[in-house]
Amino acid sequence: MTLQQMKYVLAVAEKGSFSVAAKALFVSQPSLSNAVKDLEEEIGFVIFLRSNLGVQVTNEGSEFLGYVRQIITQSNLLEDRYLKHNKQKQRFSVSAQHYPFAANAFVDLVRNFGSDDYEFTLRETRTFEVIQDVKNLKSELGLIYLCNYNESVIRKMLHDSSLMFFELFSASPHIFLSRNHPLADKKHISLNDLEAFPCISFEQGENNSFYFSEEILSVRNVRQSIKVSDRAAVVNFLIGLNGYTISSGVYPKYLHDQEIISLPLDANERITVGIIRHRDTIPSPLGTIYMEALRKIAANINS
- pLDDT per residue as tens digits for the range 131-178: 999 988 889 999 999 988 889 999 999 999 889 999 999 888 889 999
Helix (H) or strand (E) holding 93: strand 90-96
* Bigger pLDDT: 180 vs 85: 180
User: CB under 8 Å to 113, separation ≥6 — which residues?
Assistant: 286, 289
Residue 256 pLDDT exceeds 60: no
DSSP assignment of 245-259:
EEE-S---HHHHTTT
In order of 86, 93, 218, 272, 293, the CA distances from 108 in angstroms are: 26, 14, 33, 23, 8
Which domains are assigned to the chain? Answer: 3-83 (1.10.10.10), 90-170+272-302 (3.40.190.10), 173-269 (3.40.190.10)
Bridge partners (DSSP) of residue 91 are 119
Compute the mean pLDDT over every residue in the chain, rounded to the nearest whole number. 85
In order of 11, 222, 226, the CA distances from 229 in angstroms are: 29, 19, 10
**What are the phi and psi torsion angles at 246 (to 5°)?**
-105, 130
Instruction: Quote the DSSP letter at residue 83.
Output: I
Which long-range CB contacts under 8 A does 71-77 form with residues at least 24 apart?
71/3, 71/6, 72/3, 72/6, 72/7, 72/10, 75/3
Residue 251 pLDDT exceeds 80: no
| pLDDT attached to residue 255 | 46
Q: What is the pLDDT of residues 182-233, one digit of tens each?
A: 999 999 999 999 999 999 988 887 766 778 888 887 778 888 999 888 878 8
Query: How many helices and strands, by DSSP H and E, does the chain display?
Result: 10, 12
pLDDT mean over 236-240: 88
Residue 87: name the closest of 111, 118, 109 by CA.
118
Residue 131: name the closest of 119, 120, 143 by CA.
143
